Each structure stands twice: as C-alpha cells, then as structure tokens.
Amino acid sequence: MKEITCTITKKLAVLSEKENGYSKQVNMVSWNNADPKLDLREWSPDGKCMKGLTLNEEEGRKLYEALCTLYGAGQE
C-alpha cells in the first residue's frame, strides 16, 4: 500500500485548541505532492493529521459564499 503524504503549504488559522495539544486548523495542504487544497481538520501536537475535510477551489469558494450569507460578510 502506498504511503499517503501531506504537507502544510500555508497555515491559515487555528480554530480551536484542546488541553491535550490537539488543534483544529484551516490550512492549504498538498496531498501526495499534488496542488495544495483548502483543508479543515484536527492535528496532533506532533503534526499527525486526523480525519478532516479537503476542498478544491470551487468547493472552497462555495463554502465562503455560504459562510458570508450565514454571518453577513462585511456587517459589524
């Protein structure tokens, strides 16, 4: 079985962090040296990735639009 590799190419945000050091993050991640994609998942303190969600550019833009609708982008 081929080993799956992941590399964080750009850290975007840490959404939360647990007392045990695990953190939920949004990053750009390259899987198996492919083009980076938007990635939302939990990471262990030693950098091991847990289950998460990876979105291509179109999916990321649709998520952005949905969040803007939900939270009212630009509104204070």
- Average pLDDT per 10 consecutive residues for the chain, totaling 76 residues: 92 97 98 97 95 97 95 71
- Sign, Cα dihedral of 16, 30, 60, 54: negative
Instruction: Map out the domains of the chain as residue ranges.
Output: 6-71
Could you tell me which CATH class the domain 6-71 is placed in?
Answer: mainly beta
- pLDDT of res. 1: 82
- pLDDT of res. 35: 97
